[in-house]
Amino acid sequence: MKKLRDILVIDDEPTVTGAVAKICSAEGMTVSAAGQASEALQNLEEHDFRLMLCDIMMPELNGFQFLEALANRGIHTPVVMMTGYSTVENAVKSMTSTGAVDYIPKPFTADELLTVIQRSLRCGTLQEEAESASLTRRGAMSYIPCPQDYYSLGYVSWALMEEKGTAKIGVSDLFLKAANGIRSLELSEPGEDLLQGIPCAEATSPDGMVHNIMCPLSGRILEVNDQVQSAPSLVERDPYFRGWLYRILPSNPASDLQWLNL
Amino acid sequence: MLNSKIGLKLTFWVVLTVLMAIGIFAYFNIQSENKSLLMEVERHASQFSEHLKQDMNYDMMHADRRRIQDGIHRIGSQDSVQSIRVFNKPGEIVYSSTPEEIGNVVDMTADVCERCHVEGLPLKVLEGQDRMRIFQPDDDSPRMLGIINPIYNEETCWTAACHEHPETKPVLGMLDVTLPLTEVDRNIRRSQIAVIVLAISVILILSLIVGFMVRWWIDRPVQELLTAMKHVSGGNLAYRVKVTRDDELGMLARSFNNMTDNLAQVRLQLFQSDKLASLGRLAAGVAHEINNPLTAVLTNSSYLLKRSQGHPETSDDLQVIVSETIRCREIVKSLLDFARQTVPKKREADINKIIGRAAMVIENQLTTRSVELVMELDPEIPNVRVDANQIQQVFINLLVNASDAIGEKSGTIRITSKAISLNPTGVLQIKRALCRKRHDLIDRKVQIDGKPAISMRYRKNKETGLIHLDPMYGSNKHNLGAMPPLDTGVDLQCPDCSASLIVDGELCPKCNSPIFAFEVPMKGLVKGCLREGCNWHRWQQVDSAWDDEYVEVRVIDNGCGIPETQLPKLFEPFATTKGQKGTGLGLAVTWGIVDNHNGMISVESEVGVGTTFIIRFPVGS
């Protein structure tokens, strides 16, 4: 039986792995660091991890190849990608094609990092629970998955294409549960442009953490859900129907949708 | 050659058509002239023959054969007569102008005899034309006209004393007169030559005229267009075709010029976007390289900040490090946003606060350089929806620029904010103005307040002259020269085509004077009154769709100023005035940010006096 550690951080920049290790250790988490993907794979031989943080642009094996290697070895540990703002597209791709659960744009503050880590850890736990619940057919699902016909970006947000060519955007229940619920919500205004993979709303959870909700589709906001704005709890109560956030006019649905899970 | 030149082809076919028309005309003309000349000759011959017969009548009555033969010989030896012969019924020559052939018998089967003597049939009586024959004895001799004239048996003949002819014979013989057609043929040839010469000269003159016209109206302008196309395809987009005419080719030239104008603009934009694209690549590269060190700074400082709660002296400093690193992150992001041309993340914000933050950031730099920063901010200005980080970046850029312009000497930067109401008056520049026939009225040689003016021609009887209107809509600093008032029957015209610019059936609603109108492409008609002191104007599309309320910020320095030649390129990427010191990106990024906020940025500058940047953000959009 391998020893279980909390976090494995992989980045070719030692200052980044060092800082991440320092912050996580201070929160009482056990952290291993790897300077490249091959080293990380060695680490995985010795330990199991609850979560991995991985850079995308690395020498030798890059982030994508590392995710592939994980899949080949049957390792299902959730992975959070770390990347610069300039390669958001890559991050979005990594969340659909290769099973990364979330991503955090560099540079980030300690709070932002911890928010993502804790949310992702909880997300992993929730998914495990749900899996065992469905295997044993006992107990209720701990979260409601996206309904049919909903496109989802990782476990974060969803988009529903409407007949008029518009799309509704919202947050997934798993994200809300992983964030421990929301206390307040900050939304953008109608007329603003949203980009896929860039935060389109900020949700503050009761513990004071600020969660960025990444936008599943690029487009212009046509309408903001007033009910949600006045009562954010509606999102938690009915995340997929009455709790939608925006109605948008997608600017490039064809290429955006290929990166979403149906 | 014929295939390659349109002018030559056209000339060739026109000349060919004319040639055929004139050829056919000449042919029928010659034919009819021949016919009438011959008819005249035939009439003359028939008269001559008849006279001769009458003349001989007396001698016949007296059966004076010698006198008859003498007469025939005498008349027949004239130049205008070839031969005269008299046959008797069996065809024997009885009298002849050539005495040697008397007694010869003619071949009765000859064509001319056959006309009457068809075997077995009764003799025919010949009329007019049938008695004539035209023939040519041999190739060298002239054509001949032969005319036969039957000598009928009349009562006087069978009752004459000689009793030579019995009463039963209807025809006694035949008078055959042959006249040479030498003179007639010469006349015919002369008239043929005249017609041919005429035809050739008409064709020559016509082809010359056609050729000239084709050259003048088609060849030359087409050649000009071709030259222009070669220039343009070679990359010289400044080349202009001279437009001198109003016909289709003139229009073609005009649209060609329009096309190259547009092309030049598009190329400029392409050039700009090309620069923006490389800026984007640069920014992406910078972002990637800078993100890792920034991550280290940000994570460590924010971690330290978390741990130093309760130690205000360190946590305050750490707070500055964290927030400034976050600002660095936003700058990198906005640079990428700008390169991607995305819309900023806007929130309601107080511009004065943003100015305050920007000022704080560069305060140190200003004091070390002994630059005084004076803020005249109006606390009453309304909030505007902006991306505070981006706008802070704009003010920092402008303040740094101002401080650089002041340089080593001491100086003052004033930054002011106020709410303003802008209506289109004096703000919007009319950059294109067209007459009804789509001639551009903008005259780049004449400027009003440094902007190309709109030119028009006034005309009253013989009095005429040019006037120039202010291109800033509603500013009305027109230069009307010596133009008499419009209500005295003055016409305003396009200087190019003289199309009237006066609006029919519409008068100024303020003063009832006639009004002018011109078109701004894609933006509708601009109408206005030129009566002194009236200044009424209407531009439907602009008057109705205009943001009224703005927050205006001015950054004013008394530094070195910017030369006028550099002003138009000021906001282009990599167009730095600071030489090695600048990156050439500051103002381009500034412009992009302001533009993304639907704002306006403009600059006024005078070398040695200073520079003012004016930024306006619309309120409530």
Residue of B nearest to A111 (CA): B302
Give the N- to C-terminal CA distance of chain B in Å, as an integer.
65
Out of B287, B307, B345, whose CB is closest to A86? Answer: B287
Residue of A nearest to B333 (CA): A85
Of B470, B485, B378, give the one whose Cα is nearest residue B425: B470
Question: pLDDT (tens digit, 9 = 90+) per residue, A96-141?
Answer: 666 678 888 888 888 889 999 999 888 888 888 887 777 666 556 6
Å between A114 CA and nearest CA of chain B: 10
CA angle A9, A12, A18 (to 5 degrees): 50
Cβ neighbours of B2 (radius 10 Å)? 9
Residues B144, B135: contact at Cβ < 8 Å? yes
How far is it, in rounded angstroms, from Cα A170 to Cα A234?
Answer: 12
Helix, strand, coil fractions of chain B, as percent rounded to 5: 45, 20, 30
The H or E element spanning position B241 is none
Out of B287, B326, B345, whose CB is closest to A84? Answer: B287
The one-character DSSP state at B162 is T
Strands A102-106 and A79-84: parallel
Question: pLDDT (tens digit, 9 = 90+) per residue, B321-349?
Answer: 898 888 888 777 766 665 555 556 677 88
The token pair that represents B226 in the structure block:
């071709």
The one-character DSSP state at B128 is G
Q: How far is CA B349 from the centre of its chain?
A: 55
What's the pLDDT score for residue B580?
46
Question: If you average pLDDT over residues A172-188, what whole number do you get?
Answer: 88
Residues of B in contact with A189 (CB under 8 A): 346, 385
Residues of B in contact with A18 (CB under 8 A): 296
Alpha helices in chain A (DSSP H): 14-26, 37-46, 63-72, 88-97, 110-136, 173-178, 226-230, 233-237, 253-257
Cβ neighbours of B318 (radius 10 Å)? 19
Cβ within 8 Å, pair A109-B294? no
The one-character DSSP state at A107 is S
Cβ within 8 Å, pair A23-B336? no
Cβ within 8 Å, pair A19-B299? yes
How far is it, in rounded angstroms, from Cα A184 to Cα B580?
Answer: 49
More confident residue, B426 or B469: B469
Cβ within 8 Å, pair A108-B291? no
How far is it, in rounded angstroms, from Cα A18 to Cα A22?
Answer: 6
- Residue B149: which residues within 8 A CB-CB, separation 6 or more? B46, B49, B50, B52, B53, B131, B174, B175, B176, B177
Residues of B in contact with A11 (CB under 8 A): 292
Residue A141 identity: M
What's the pLDDT score for residue B1?
46
Residue A223 identity: E
Residues of B in contact with A86 (CB under 8 A): 283-284, 287-288, 336
Cβ within 8 Å, pair B295-A109? no
> Which 3 state secondary structure label does DSSP give B105?
strand
Q: Is the peptide bond before A105 cis (omega within 30 degrees of 0)?
A: no
What's the pLDDT score for residue B274?
66
- Residue B34: which residues within 8 A CB-CB, separation 6 or more? B188
Cβ within 8 Å, pair B293-A15? yes
The token pair that represents B472 in the structure block:
């800033």
| Residues paired with residue A5 on neighbouring β-strands, in sequence order | A49
The token pair that represents B227 in the structure block:
């030259």
Could you tell me if A25 lies within 8 Å of chain B, comparing CB atoms?
A: no
Residues of B in contact with A88 (CB under 8 A): none
Question: pLDDT (tens digit, 9 = 90+) per residue, A13-52?
Answer: 888 888 899 889 988 999 999 988 889 989 888 888 989 9
Question: If you average pLDDT over residues B372-377, what whole number do you get?
Answer: 90
Out of A19, A22, A107, whose CB is closest to B291? Answer: A107
Of B309, B280, B60, give the one whose Cα is nearest residue B162: B60
What's the pLDDT score for residue A94?
73
Å between A16 CA and nearest CA of chain B: 5
The one-character DSSP state at A252 is S
Å between B596 CA and nearest CA of chain A: 11
Averaged confidence pLDDT in chain B: 81
- Burial A116-140, CB ≥16 within 10 A → b, else e: bbbbbbebbebbeebeeeeeeeeee
ipTM score for this prediction:
0.79
Residue A181 φ/ψ, nearest 5 degrees: 85, 170
What's the pLDDT score for residue A245?
92
Longest Cα–Cα distance of chain B, Å, equals 179
- Residue A172: which residues within 8 A CB-CB, separation 6 or more? A145, A146, A152, A155, A156, A157, A158, A239
More confident residue, B575 or B250: B250
Residue B516 φ/ψ, nearest 5 degrees: -105, 165
How far is it, in rounded angstroms, from Cα A238 to Cα A171?
Answer: 10
CA angle B123, B127, B128 (to 5 degrees): 145
- Residue A142: which residues within 8 A CB-CB, separation 6 or more? A126, A129, A130, A133, A177
What's the pLDDT score for residue A99?
67
Long-range contacts (CB closer than 8 Å, 24 or more residues apart) made by A240-244: A240/A144, A240/A146, A240/A147, A240/A150, A240/A158, A240/A170, A240/A173, A243/A170, A243/A171, A244/A160, A244/A168, A244/A169, A244/A170
- DSSP conformation letters of A25-61: HHTT--EEEESSHHHHHHHHHHEEEEEEEEESS-SSS
Residues of B in contact with A26 (CB under 8 A): 303, 307
Of A183, A188, A194, A120, give the one whose Cα is nearest residue A155: A120
Is it the case that residue A247 has pLDDT exceeding 50?
yes
Cβ within 8 Å, pair B295-A26? no
Lowest mean pLDDT among A3-12, B191-200, B264-273: B264-273
More confident residue, B70 or B487: B70
Residues A218, A195: contact at Cβ < 8 Å? yes
The token pair that represents A133 in the structure block:
């619940």
Cβ within 8 Å, pair B287-A13? no
Cβ within 8 Å, pair A85-B291? yes
| Residues paired with residue B447 on neighbouring β-strands, in sequence order | B452
Tell me the pTM: 0.47
Residue B84 φ/ψ, nearest 5 degrees: -130, 130
Alpha helices in B381-509 (DSSP H): 388-406
Confidence of residue B482 (pLDDT cuts 50, 70, 90): confident
Could you tell me if A111 lies within 8 Å of chain B, comparing CB atoms?
A: yes
Å between A237 CA and nearest CA of chain B: 28
Cβ within 8 Å, pair A16-B287? no
Question: pLDDT (tens digit, 9 = 90+) per residue, B189-246?
Answer: 888 888 889 888 988 888 888 888 888 888 888 888 888 889 888 888 888 888 887 8
Is it the case that residue B581 has pLDDT exceeding 60?
no
The token pair that represents B98 in the structure block:
């050539």
Mutate to test the interface with A, among B289, B292, B387 (most CBs of A within 10 A): B292
Confidence of residue B367 (pLDDT cuts 50, 70, 90): confident
